[in-house]
Amino acid sequence: MLPPAPPGVVPYIAGYSEEALLNPRIVQHALFPGVAYADETPHDRDSFGMLWVRPTLLPKRRRGEPRLREVHPYRQRRAMANMLCQVCTRPPEDLDAPSLFLLRDTGGPVQEGERTASPPVCVPCAGISIQLCHALRRDHYAAARVEHAPAWGVAGLVYDPDTLIPLPGKELERVEYGTERAPWTVAARTLVALYGVTPVDLEEEFSRLGTDRLEEEFARFRAATRVNG
C-alpha cells in the first residue's frame, strides 16, 4: 500500500501569490521580424532564441501563498532543461536511464511523440502527486518511462505582427521552434516531445521501490520542506 503523502507539499514548479509576471514593453525586433523587449537582456531568450516572459524571482520565504494551479515559468523551464523532478527537483540518478513522466489521462496511454509541458517526476514524488494533485486524482493519470525528451517548442502568447497585440484565442498557444510564429511568441512554458515511450504501471513502480523506501523518501521530503520553507 502506498504510504500517506506528506501534507502541504508544494511542487517546485508551482506558482506563488507574490510572484507576478513583469510587463516589459513589447516592440518590433530591430534586426529581424519578431517581437522583443524594449529593454531586452540576454537572459530574456532561451538557447533557441525564443523570447520569454519575465517572472518575479523571490526567495521562498517571500513568495507568499502557494498557487498549485499555476506554474512558475522559470522553474518549469529549468526543470525541463535539466530533467529535474517537478516536485522535489531531484536530478536523474542515471542520466542514461529513461525518465518517468506522469500526465493527465486523456483516454489512453502516453503516445510516442506526444508533447507535454509537464516535467518528469521521480517515483516517490509520483506517489505524492497522485494522492494530492486534484487533477490527477479526478481525471486519473497516464505514466510512462521515456528515453528521450528533446525540446519541441513552447506554450506562449503569439503577437500580431502589425499591432503587436496578442492574437485572440487560447491564452497560451503551442508553438514549435523554428516555425513562422516562433519569432512573434513570448514563451511561458517549455514543451518537450516524448520518444522511446514505454507505458508503466505506477503500482509496480511503487512495489519495486518498496514501502520502507517510500516512507523514507516522504519523510526526507517533509524535512526538506520544513528547512526550506
Taking the model in full, what pTM does it have? Answer: 0.91
**Does residue 101 lie in a domain region?**
yes
**Does residue 3 lie in a domain region?**
no
**Does residue 1 lie in a domain region?**
no
Number of domains in the chain: 1
Asked if 19 and 94 touch (Cβ cutoff 8 Å), the reply is no
**What span, in angstroms and rounded, lies between the C-alpha atoms of 143 and 123?**
10
**Does residue 5 lie in a domain region?**
no
- β-partners of residue 184 are none
**Does residue 4 lie in a domain region?**
no
Give the contacts of 165 (CB within 8 A, at least 6 positions apart): 159
The pLDDT mean for the chain works out to: 91
**Does residue 9 lie in a domain region?**
no
Whether the predicted pLDDT of 228 surpasses 90: no
Average pLDDT over residues 132-143: 78
**Does residue 164 lie in a domain region?**
yes
**Does residue 66 lie in a domain region?**
yes
Cell triple for residue 119? Answer: 516535467
Residue 154 Cα distances to 2, 42, 143, 186, 192, angstroms: 35, 18, 22, 9, 8
Give residue 51's domain range: 14-228
In the chain, what percentage of residues exceed pLDDT 70?
Answer: 96
